[in-house]
């Protein structure tokens, strides 16, 4: 079976570009979700690069499941935890006690999400080089 790590990684890069586009369009809920997706796909790419499978959507867990040979900082896991919070409530009207998702996300959240996702993508890029 072919190793699809490169495909996952290039899609992660495209997803972070989508996050930036959504942020510029002031669709901050979508920017946050696209950033989460970018980081998730990047970490899955690293798992595939290391010849292991990865399932699920919790980026912090996906990072913790990397082999011990991968030098992982606790700070990166904390940033993944922030991104994990954007997986569901950014898309579903029942993700918050009231209000549509777009009412709960703004430029502060989208800037942070994109920054953290970019850090995870760069971490993966360095380990896949």
In tens, the pLDDT along 15-59 reads: 999 999 999 999 999 999 999 999 999 999 999 999 999 999 999
In degrees, rounded to 5, the angle at the alpha carbon of residue 42 between the alpha carbons of residues 38 and 44 is 120
The DSSP string of 28-93 is: HHHHHHHHHHHHHHHHHHHHHHTT----SS-HHHHHHTS-TTS---HHHHHHHHHHHTTSSTTT-G
Is the per-residue pLDDT at 2 higher than 80?
Answer: no
| pLDDT category of residue 1 using cuts at 50, 70 and 90 | low
In tens, the pLDDT along 69-125 reads: 999 988 999 999 999 999 999 999 999 999 999 999 999 999 999 999 999 999 999
- Total-model pTM: 0.96
* pLDDT at position 50: 97
- Which H helix or E strand runs over 107? helix 107-128
* pLDDT at position 45: 98
The structural domains of the chain, ordered by start, are 5-128 (1.20.120.330)
- CA distances (Å), origin 110, targets 5, 27, 73, 75: 26, 9, 23, 19
The mean pLDDT value for 60-64 works out to: 97
């Amino acid at each position: 079976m072919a190793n699809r790590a490169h495909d996952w990684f290039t899609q992660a890069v495209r997803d972070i570009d989508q996050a930036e586009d959504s942020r510029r369009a002031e669709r901050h809920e979508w920017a946050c979700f696209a950033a989460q997706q970018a980081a998730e796909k990047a970490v899955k790419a690293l798992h595939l690069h290391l010849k292991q499978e990865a399932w699920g959507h919790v980026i912090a867990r996906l990072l913790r499941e990397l082999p011990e040979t991968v030098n992982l900082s606790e700070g990166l896991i904390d940033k993944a935890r922030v991104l994990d919070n954007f997986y569901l409530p950014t898309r579903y009207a029942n993700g918050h006690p009231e209000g549509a998702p777009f009412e709960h996300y703004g430029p502060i959240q989208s800037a942070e999400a994109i920054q953290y996702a970019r850090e995870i993508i760069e971490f993966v890029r360095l380990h896949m080089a």
